[in-house]
Structures are given as structure tokens and as C-alpha cells.
Amino acid sequence: MKDGPDIAYIASLIGDPARANMLTALLTGKALTATELSQEAGITLQTASSHLAKLTDGGLLTLRKQGRHKYFSLANDNVAGVLESLMGLAAGSGHLRTRTGPRDAKLRHARVCYNHLAGSMGIQMFNYFADQHFLQIKSEGITLTDNGATFVRGFGIDLEALQKKRSPLCKECLDWSERRSHLAGSLGRALLTRLEELKWVRRIPDSRIIEFTKAGQQNFDATFAQASLFA
């Protein structure tokens, strides 16, 4: 037996079609019940419960009990990042389960990836941060610079509160539709929350789609330098 992490085990957890459907449904960042996830996967509740137990034991999901209900969510940003990367690999290899349509275009424009902004708008924001040297990007990870901290505070985000959290402040997440990076971590989540507070965007119910208002798109482009997307 080879030494090192057992990637075959994790791959087997994700590789089952029903489990893959449930995992991608949780990329909205919203916790769902076993019943809701069974509907997403098109399987019985009993079968879904068995799958969810395996995903939880495997460290891909977390379980939270509230009253009589049990809610499942992705364990962390790392799981979301792996799912996005696999979706990008599948799309790039031509392995698509449905024909493209209007929803596909909307997903590529802006969508939620475990509570941070993905799609071309997420990439635009990441590129702006990089172009303005708000991020220091190294092989071992990315950090927020002093200028970046000033910008974030000016955008209305409580940076000190984020820095007190145990989760990483900044992380790169490979976008499945563009195969370029968008910003994850607690700062990525805070930025999306701020866009919602400003009413620049809204989430489409029961979907990963993020919809920009007309004014919101204009404000976003003015703030995050639209030309940077093509840098």
C-alpha cells in the first residue's frame, strides 16, 4: 500500500451520482435536510440517509440538529473547492449532463459557491484585487495586503471581526466555468454578503444563480474595474 492521503476513498464518496448531486446542491451554502437532499438526488429518503452518513463520516459534510430536524452542509471551503475543480474538469472534458440553456449562461455570469461569489463576476473581483495589489499571491497561499485591508474596510466590511475567526481569511477557488480563480475564505463570503446588503445582487431561490440589478451591475463594474477581467 502506498503512503499518503487516501484520495481513492474521497473520490469514491464524491463519485457516486446520487452523492455528487447532493454535494453540488449544497454549494449554495444553504444547509438542507435529508428529505430535501433526497429530492435533489432523486432517491428515497432511506437511501439518502445512508449516503449522507457516509459523506458525514468521510468528513465532507457536517450535521447540525435543530429541534426535530437535521441539517446537512458542506464541511468547509476545501470541499467546495474540490467540487468546483471537478466540475471544471468535467466541463472542460465535455462531460455535461444537460444541454446548455439560459440558466447555464446565468450560472457562468454569477453564482454562489459555498457563500462566495463565483462565475465571471467572481473572477472579475479577484482580478481587480490582484491588479491593485490588494492580494499577495504566493505558491503557499494568498494574503491580504495593507492596501487591500484599507479597501475592504472602506467597502464596509468589518475586517477585524473576520481576522478573529479560525477560518482562513483569503483562499483561491478555481472557477469551474472559467478555469480561473475567484476569492474564497471568510473575506470572499463577507464580500458577497456586502453585495447583498448594498442590494447590488440577489440570490435566485432554489438555485446557485446570483442576479445583479441594473444599478448593481453598474456599481460593481465601477468598483471592481471591469476591464480587469481581460487582463
> Domain segments of the chain: what residues?
7-75, 101-230
Model confidence band, residue 82 (pLDDT cutoffs 50, 70, 90): confident
Determine whether domain 7-75 maps to CATH 3.90.25.10: no
pTM of the model: 0.73
Residue pLDDT, tens place only, 135-191: 998 888 899 999 999 999 999 999 999 999 888 999 988 887 777 889 999 999 999
Q: Which residues contact 98 (CB under 8 A, 6 or more apart)?
A: none
Measure the CA angle with vertex 118, ends 84 and 230; round to 5°.
Answer: 110
